[in-house]
Amino acid sequence: MRAASLLPAEISSWSVEKRYIHKNGRTVWARVHVSLVRGQHQSPQYFISVIEDINDRIQAEQALRDREERLRLALSAGVGVWDCDLQGKTAALSPQYRGVFGQLPPSFADWFKLVHPDDRGRVKALAQASIDRGGVNGSLSIGYCARTEL
């Protein structure tokens, strides 16, 4: 263990990310920082420990890995993906999307015409709800049926 290296002055501090199991059974992630304070003659005086809650970061990283895996699976199945940056007003198309639909529709209205009429209300409501929640700076993933031509 690294803490044992503190006493003989091999290292001055260490940190580790640890998973704890709460008594209610849920997992809690923390980063533990430990330093040893020494006196004038380098004799150990006391430890300083800081425990940082990193649960949100770990969960966000896992969610990102999960989304990336779903995207890899979708792309390997031949499903097309387009990514639209609403602030920069730019879009990126996967090769699969280009293969099915050709180029990106010239406007949002033209793209929206490709959404199957039965799905338009739901897609529009979800997109608007995401924007209302500040989704312009985040992401939104919607599954819908699409037409292959306008």
Contact 91, 85 (CB under 8 A): yes
- The pLDDT of residue 52: 96
Q: Which letter does DSSP use for residue 77 in this model?
A: T
Q: Which residues, at least 6 apart from 52, have a Cβ–Cβ distance to it below 8 Å? A: 30, 31, 32, 33
pTM given for the model? 0.51
Q: How many CA atoms lie within 13 A of 65 on its CB side?
A: 6
How many CB atoms neighbour CB 35 within 10 A? 16
> What tokens does 147 get?
């037409």
pLDDT digits (tens, 9 = 90+) for 33-66: 999 888 888 888 898 999 999 999 999 999 899 8
Centroid of chain to Cα 130? 16
The residue written with tokens 């199957």 in the block is 116
Going from N- to C-terminal start, the domains of the chain cover 2-53
User: What secondary structure letter does DSSP report for 11?
Assistant: -
Cβ-based neighbours of 64, under 8 Å, separated by 6 or more? none
E strands, the chain, are: 13-21, 27-38, 44-53, 82-85, 90-93
pLDDT tier for residue 29 given thresholds of 50, 70 and 90: very high
* Superfamily classification of domain 2-53: PAS domain (3.30.450.20)
Angle (CA) 117 119 124, round 5°: 105
Q: pLDDT tens digits for 79-133?
A: 677 666 655 556 667 777 777 776 666 566 777 777 788 888 888 888 777 777 7
Q: What is the pLDDT of residue 87?
A: 55
pLDDT at 150 over 60: no
